[in-house]
Structure 1
Amino acid sequence: MKVKQIAFLLILFLSSCSPASKQPVSLPSEPFLVIAHRGASAYAPAHTFPSYELAIDMGAHYIELDLQRTKDGKLIVLHNDSIELNGNEMEIEEITSDTLGAFKPAEEFNQPSNQFASQRFASLRVPSLEQVLREFGDQTNYYIEIKSPERYPGIEQQLIDQLDGHHLLNREDPLPKVIIQSFSSDSLKKVHELSPSTPLIQLYSFKEKADLPTSKLKRVTRYASGIGVNSMAVTEHLVKTVHQSGLAIHPFTVNDPEHAAALISMGVDGVFTDKPDLILHLLSQEYEQD
Structure 2
Amino acid sequence: MHRKKKNIFKPISLFLFILLFTTIVIVFKPAPKNDYVISHRGASGEEIEHTFKAYDLAIDYGTKYIEQDLVTSKSGTLYISHDENAKRITGVDKNYSDMNDKEIDKLRTSDHQPILKLEDVFKKYGDSTYYAIELKEKDNSRAIKPFENLVKKYDLKDKIIVQARNKEALGTLEINFPNMQKLILVNTEDELNEALKHDYIDIIGANSKLMNKNNIKKTHENNKEFNVWTLNSSDEIKKAIDLNIDSYFTNYTAKALLLEDNYR
> Radius of gyration: which is bigger?
2
Tell me which residue corresponds to 2:119. Answer: 130
Which structure dedicates a bigger proportion of its chain to helix? Answer: 2
Give TM-score, length-normalised by structure 1.
0.75
Tell me which residue corresponds to 1:83. Answer: 86
1:164 equivalent to 2:152? Answer: yes
1:97 equivalent to 2:97? Answer: no
The aligned amino acid for 1:193 is I
After superposition, the C-alpha distances for 1:118-177 in whole angstroms (9 at most, x for unaligned) are: xxxx22010101111000111110000001151x534212111101111112xxxxxx41
Three-state SS of the structure 2 residue aligned to 1:41 is coil
After superposition, the C-alpha distances for 1:171-207 in whole angstroms (9 at most, x for unaligned) are: xxxxx4111000001111111112111110011124x
Contact 1:255–1:273 (Cα < 8 Å) also in 2:
yes
Three-state SS of the structure 2 residue aligned to 1:219 is coil
Tell me which residue corresponds to 1:114. Answer: none
After superposition, the C-alpha distances for 1:232-267 in whole angstroms (9 at most, x for unaligned) are: 331111111111111001101111111111111112
Moved more, 75-84 or 35-44: 75-84
Q: Give percent identity, aligned residues only.
A: 26
Residues 1:236 and 1:212: Cα distance change in structure 2 (over 3 Å): farther
Give TM-score, length-normalised by structure 2.
0.82
Three-state SS of the structure 1 residue aligned to 2:87 is strand
Structure number with greater CO (CA < 8 Å, separation at least 6) is 1
Matches within 5 A, 1:1-290: 30-31=31-32, 32-84=35-87, 89-105=93-109, 107=110, 122-150=111-139, 152-169=140-157, 176-206=158-188, 210-211=189-190, 216-220=194-198, 222-286=199-263
Aligned length: 232
Q: CA RMSD in A?
A: 2.0
Unaligned runs of 5+ in 1: 1-28, 108-121, 170-175
Contact 1:217–1:242 (Cα < 8 Å) also in 2:
no
